[in-house]
Structure 1
C-alpha cells in the first residue's frame, strides 16, 4: 500500500471550498434510500410533457421563481392557509405559474411516497424534473446534486422583494442577480430560458397598445411582430389568460433562437429589448445568438449553480409528506 501524505489535505481543501450546505448534496443521494427516484421522475415528466408541451417552460419558470426568492427549497409549492395567509404560491408574480407544473410535481411526490415514504424532498423533485425537462426539449444536460430539504417558511412578500420584474431597467435587473452572487453572464444565460414557453399579454401590452402620444406601438419592436401581437392580445383585458410565445420561431424547442430574436426586435418584453442594447449584456446576446454551444455551456453552468442556491439541509428543513403543506403548522 502506498501512502500519499498530501491526499487528505487536498481533499479537505476541496471540501471546505464548497458552501457548507451544498457540500452535503450529491448526485447519488437516493441511490440506496430510493433507488427508483430518477426513474419515477423521468417517466412522469415524459408523460406529462408529451400530453402538455407547456409543462417544460412551466417547471423551468417555477424552479427559477422558487430558487431566486429564498433558495431552492420548494417554498413556492406551499398553499396559503388561515395560519399562513400569503404563501409564495399566491404572490402576484406567481399567480400565472403553470398548473401543469404543480400537477406533475404532486403526481411524482405521490408515487414516491408509495415507493419510499418520507425520503424524497419536494425541492429535489423540482430540481430533478427541471433538468430532465430541459434536456427533453433539446437543452443541455447538467448534473443535479440532491439532498435538499423543504422549507419551513413560505412568505409571499419575499417573492415580491426578490424576483426581477418586466418593468425594471437593466440596472435594477442586474442588481437582483448580483445581490445573490450571480454574474451578468449567468443572468443573460439564465434569461435564455425564454426560448421556450409564453408570456401573458398584460406583461407586454404597454409596447403594443398606446405606447406613447406619437406611436401606438414601441418603435423598437419589429412592426410585423407588433401587428400580430395586437391581434392575439386584443381581448387581453377581459381574458387575462391571453398570451404569446416567447420565441415565435421555435417555441417548443430549447435553442438559441431567443437571442437571435432579441437582436431583430422580436422580443416580447421591454427587458428583452434592453438585454440586446445594454453594453453590459449585448456582447453576450450576440455571442449566444451565433454560438448555440456557448449558450448551452453557460446555461448549464448557471443552472447548476442556481440549483444549489440557498438550499436547506439538516435541521434547517424537512421532507414534506405533501408538497403543498408543511408537516406541522408553523407557530
Structure 2
C-alpha cells in the first residue's frame, strides 16, 4: 500500500476512475451515494477486497445477494472503470482500489472533502452472503447494537457517528423504514421519536402500499443534494429516516459528535475524510489476494 501507487504502473488510473464517475453522475445523479455505500458494504465484510462485487454461483450465494445488500448499487460504474483500465494497463489496477477511489471521488463531486488515498489493495477470492448478514449494520439497529458492530471493526463511537454522515446524500427505500411509520412495535403504531409533521410528509411519499422500489431523499431538505451537515441537524430535529440515524442522540458521545457536526461543516469534513480513509484500509491484502480480470468473478 502506498500513495501514488500507480504513478509508474498506470499513471492515468485515478484520472480514469474520476472521469468515469463524472460521466456516470451526469447520467444518474445518485450514483455517487450508490458507490459510497458500496465502498462501505465492501469494507465491512472481508475488508476492502471487492468481495461485494463477486457474483453468486450455483455452489455459493455471494455477498451481493444477501438480504442486507438488496438495494446495493454501483456495480456498473466499477465495471466500466475496470474495462477501461484493463485496456490501458492490463492486470494492474484492482477492483478493490477502484471501489475506494470511486467512493472518494463521489464524495468530492457532491461537494464533500477530497482526501488522498493509498493504492495497492488486492481483490479477495471469498464472498459469502452469510458474512454480509453477520457484519453489516442494519437501519433498524439501536445505538448499542451499532456500537458493537462498529467496535468489531475497530471504530470508535465518534467514528460511528462520522461515517453515518454518508447518509447526507442519496435516497432511502420506503420498505427500509416503513415500520417506523405504520407498525413500529407491531401494533400498527408510529415511532414516537419521529417528528409528527415529518412523519406525515413521509407517509405521503411512502404510503402503506409503497413498493420496495419507492424511495425518498435521505434528508428533510432534499434540494441540497450535497455532502453537508443537514443530516446531523435532522437528527437533532427528530427527522432522521432510519432508526440507526436517530438513535445517535441516545449515547452521550455520539450525540456530542452530532451536535458538533451540526454546527461546523469544517470539522465534519475533516473528520469524515479521516474516517473514510480509515475505512478504506480495513483488513486489506489478506493472503491469497489477486487482481481480478473481471470484478464479478475470481480469476
* TM-score of the aligned structures, taking structure 1 as reference length: 0.87
Aligned ranges for residues 24-173 of structure 1 at < 5 Å?
25-83=1-59, 85-98=60-73, 101-173=74-146
Q: Is the 8 A contact 1:122 1:150 kept in 2?
A: yes
Deviation at 1:81, TM superposition (A): 0.8
Answer yes or no: is 1:192 the counterpart of 2:168. Answer: no
Q: 1:96 to 1:214 in 2, by over 3 A?
A: closer
| Contiguous gaps of at least 5 residues in structure 2 | none
Partner in structure 2 of residue 9 of structure 1: none
Q: Is the 8 A contact 1:57 1:196 kept in 2?
A: yes
Partner in structure 1 of residue 282 of structure 2: 309
- How many positions carry a matched residue from both structures? 298
Rounded to whole Å, the distance in 1 between the matches of 2:204 and 2:164 is 26
The equivalent position to 2:247 in structure 1, one of 256, 274, 281, is 274
| Contiguous gaps of at least 5 residues in structure 1 | 1-24
Partner in structure 1 of residue 201 of structure 2: 228
Q: 1:279 to 1:48 in 2, by over 3 A?
A: same
Q: Is the 8 A contact 1:74 1:150 kept in 2?
A: yes
Rounded to whole Å, the distance in 1 between the matches of 2:36 and 2:2 is 21
Q: 1:245 to 1:298 in 2, by over 3 A?
A: same
Answer yes or no: is 1:326 the counterpart of 2:295. Answer: no
Deviation at 1:212, TM superposition (A): 5.2
Q: 1:189 to 1:210 in 2, by over 3 A?
A: same
Bigger-Rg structure (1/2): 1
Q: Is the 8 A contact 1:69 1:162 kept in 2?
A: yes
Alignment deviations for residues 246-302 of structure 1 (CA, whole Å, 9 cap, x no partner)? 112145200111000110011011222211232231111100100111111111111
* TM-score of the aligned structures, taking structure 2 as reference length: 0.95
Q: Is the 8 A contact 1:201 1:236 kept in 2?
A: no
Deviation at 1:146, TM superposition (A): 0.1
Answer yes or no: is 1:246 the counterpart of 2:218. Answer: yes
Rounded to whole Å, the distance in 1 between the matches of 2:142 and 2:14 is 40
Deviation at 1:215, TM superposition (A): 7.5
Give the SS at the match of 2:172. Answer: strand
Answer yes or no: is 1:288 the counterpart of 2:264. Answer: no
